[in-house]
Amino acid sequence: MASLIGSPLLRIRVFPEVTLLKPTRLSFVRFRRGGSLVKAASAAPTFDGDVRVRFAPSPTGNLHVGGARTALFNYLFARSKGGKFVLRIEDTDLERSTKQSEEALLHDLSWLGLDWDEGPGVGGEYGPYRQSERNSMYKEYAEKLLNSGLAYRCFCSNEELEQMKEIANLKKLPPVYTGKWATATEEEAQDELAKGTPYTYRFRVPKEGTVKINDLIRGEVSWNLDTLGDFVILRSNGQPVYNFCVTVDDATMRISHVIRAEEHLPNTLRQALIYKALGFSMPQFAHVSLILAPDRSKLSKRHGATSVGQFKEMGYLPQAMVNYLALLGWGDGTENEFFTMEQLVEKFSIERVNKSGAVFDSAKLRWMNGQHLKAIPQDQLTKVIGEHWKSNGILFESEGMFVKEVVDLLKDGIELIPDSDTALLNLLSYPLHNTLASAEGRPLVEDKLSEVAASLLSAYDSGEFHKALEEGHAGWQQWVKSFGKSLKRKGKSLFMPLRVLLTGKFHGPDMGMAMHVLREAGLCGIITPQAGFVTLDERFKIMREVDWEALNRDSKAESVAVASSH
């Protein structure tokens, strides 16, 4: 029977029926309380049982990318060790917790592919998995601490507590509890109970000593107990305080490793004391650094999208989100940045998680999404983008030869699925007049662009241009070569005028493929009217109506104006 922290006047009993984890090998730190020697675990255990980790979000809002990364690290650790990934909903904040938020959390985790082995919707041996359904258990363990003298009833009013804080502040001391109920007699407590005075349960904290843990990421972390004071574990309304119910939950659910954000590091002191007092074996802790904004402040809504749901709506792929989140504070020691979930499970280790904060780079995430898009099998990518175009009213149909060919043409310029809208609409448009009138178009106009346009119209009228397209890639290449030869142009002096005249733009995908796709678009009737599609025939009509003399005059006048201004 182990000796536990408590009143020196009481014989402390251990409750073997609640020691659910395998015993740990404990080192001890000595504490003195009222002159008597007591012991507490220094929380540097080894765990010999199965690996069991948990992600325990509060359903009070959307799943933040920081929470998603914590869930991912837990998931990868469990899968890499052949262990269990447990999902627990911490909904004791009754005012802010909502069913809608819980459903959104579950949906976001499922979308990321972080399937849990135990938890809501799955069940398990150690449920229930919502804290709001575990109140009777918290009450039971609070009573055990009370009966053993390791906790006591505190009848202090809010006014009394505030007065203690003010006095401590004036004396420049930590705001620790100094009320009489720490040493009150049973008779005094019974008098208040008879009056119906509201009370909380407070945990007895040793006045001296140190608690240490060996954090798997941060190494040894220690706290002095003289700054803590007796803390509340059960509120006057019967609701448990966070540190108490989390400790009870983790212990009774046999959690072996607690991987969580560094914000929870200060909570570990209170939890370590509760573990020891209840005779529970300590899990191993690993506190992950925060995700930072580019200015190295804590990432928040003012920096843009921060929730998983927002990134999903923006068109990000779950596999890209998982890959990027894994690299926020972890790496496999190589230059490789592209990982599938299977590869992450194979390579992940908690020892390679960094202590320093990781900066969330939206541009890097976008790039990574593009890499994962390129890795999707062509048929799957065509299906996803085709359905997107149809749902957005650009196409009448989501599949077919045209969709397959245009996706193949545009995919290298797409980093997010919604980018495909811009890419396709850009391909279908023909802003020739605006391009020719622009400052960038002026040198092109002055380089006898009208002569290229005249030759191109001649090729169109003779049927030579359409014949080249009908003969496919080889036919197109042969025609372009012949066309350039007739104009004594090659390279950029040939291809830039051709691109501008045929597409109305200075930049774009492969011109031969683009012409082929535009020809197909005009034949298959798959483009909706609102897409603003200008067919090849319409393009040549617009080209024919260009007033080259006026363009040349305007260009020369602009050149003179620019010269005179210098």
| C-alpha span between 477 and 485 (Å, rounded) | 12
Which pLDDT belongs to residue 556? 65
The closest alpha carbon to 117, from 74, 166, 152, belongs to: 74
| C-alpha span between 559 and 563 (Å, rounded) | 6
Contacts of 241 (CB under 8 A, 6+ apart): 231, 232, 233, 234, 235
| C-alpha span between 173 and 211 (Å, rounded) | 20
Question: What's the token pair of residue 529?
Answer: 């009217």
Residue by residue, DSSP assigns 61-105 as S--BHHHHHHHHHHHHHHHHTT-EEEE-B----TTT--HHHHHHH
Residue by residue, DSSP assigns 453-507 as HHHHHHHHHTTHHHHHHHTHHHHHHHHHHHHHHHHT--THHHHHHHHHHHHSSS-
Is the backbone peptide bond immediately before 128 cis, with ω within 30 degrees of 0? yes
Amino acid letter, 359: V
Which pLDDT belongs to residue 303? 62
Size of the chain, expressed as the number of residues it contains: 566
87, containing H or E segment: strand 84-87
Contact 525, 401 (CB under 8 A): no
Question: What's the token pair of residue 333?
Answer: 């020691």
What's the distance, CA 184 to chain centroid? 50
Q: What angle do CA 72, 74, 77 make, to 5 degrees?
A: 105
Which pLDDT belongs to residue 353? 96
| C-alpha span between 293 and 295 (Å, rounded) | 5
Contact 13, 145 (CB under 8 A): no
197-254 tens-digit pLDDT? 999 999 999 988 999 999 999 999 999 998 899 999 999 999 999 999 999 999 999 9
Please identify which of the residues 301, 355, 374, 485 carries the catalytic annotation: 301
Question: What's the token pair of residue 91?
Answer: 């909904």
| C-alpha span between 487 and 451 (Å, rounded) | 9
Amino acid letter, 433: H
Question: What's the token pair of residue 157?
Answer: 């009013």
Query: Mean pLDDT across the chain, nearest whole number?
Result: 87
Handedness of CA 104, 106, 109, 110 (dihedral sign): negative
Q: What angle do CA 290, 291, 293 make, to 5 degrees?
A: 130
pLDDT tens-digit profile, the chain (566 residues): 333 333 322 222 333 333 333 333 333 333 333 332 233 333 333 445 799 999 999 998 889 999 999 999 999 999 999 999 999 999 987 778 889 999 999 999 999 999 999 999 999 999 999 999 999 999 999 999 999 999 999 999 989 998 888 888 888 887 888 888 999 999 999 999 999 999 999 999 998 899 999 999 999 999 999 889 999 999 999 999 999 999 999 999 999 999 999 999 999 999 999 999 999 999 999 999 999 988 888 887 666 668 999 999 999 999 999 999 999 999 999 999 999 999 999 999 999 999 999 999 999 999 999 999 999 999 999 999 999 999 999 999 999 999 999 999 999 999 999 999 999 999 999 999 999 999 998 999 988 999 999 999 999 999 999 999 999 999 999 999 999 999 998 999 999 999 999 999 999 999 999 999 999 999 999 999 999 999 999 999 999 999 988 888 876 666 545 445 54
The whole model's pTM is what? 0.83
Say which DSSP state 527 is in. Answer: B
| C-alpha span between 560 and 115 (Å, rounded) | 68
3-state secondary structure 294-363: CCCCECCHHHCCCEHHHHHHCCCCHHHHHHHHHCCCECCCCCCCCCCHHHHHHHCCHHHECCCCEECCHH
| 355 tagged catalytic | no
291, containing H or E segment: strand 291-292
Q: What angle do CA 431, 432, 434 make, to 5 degrees?
A: 70
- Bridging pattern class, strands 257-261 and 291-292: unpaired
Q: What angle do CA 95, 99, 105 make, to 5 degrees?
A: 110
Distances in whole angstroms, Cα of residue 80 to Cα of each of 112, 217, 314, 315, 341: 17, 17, 31, 29, 11
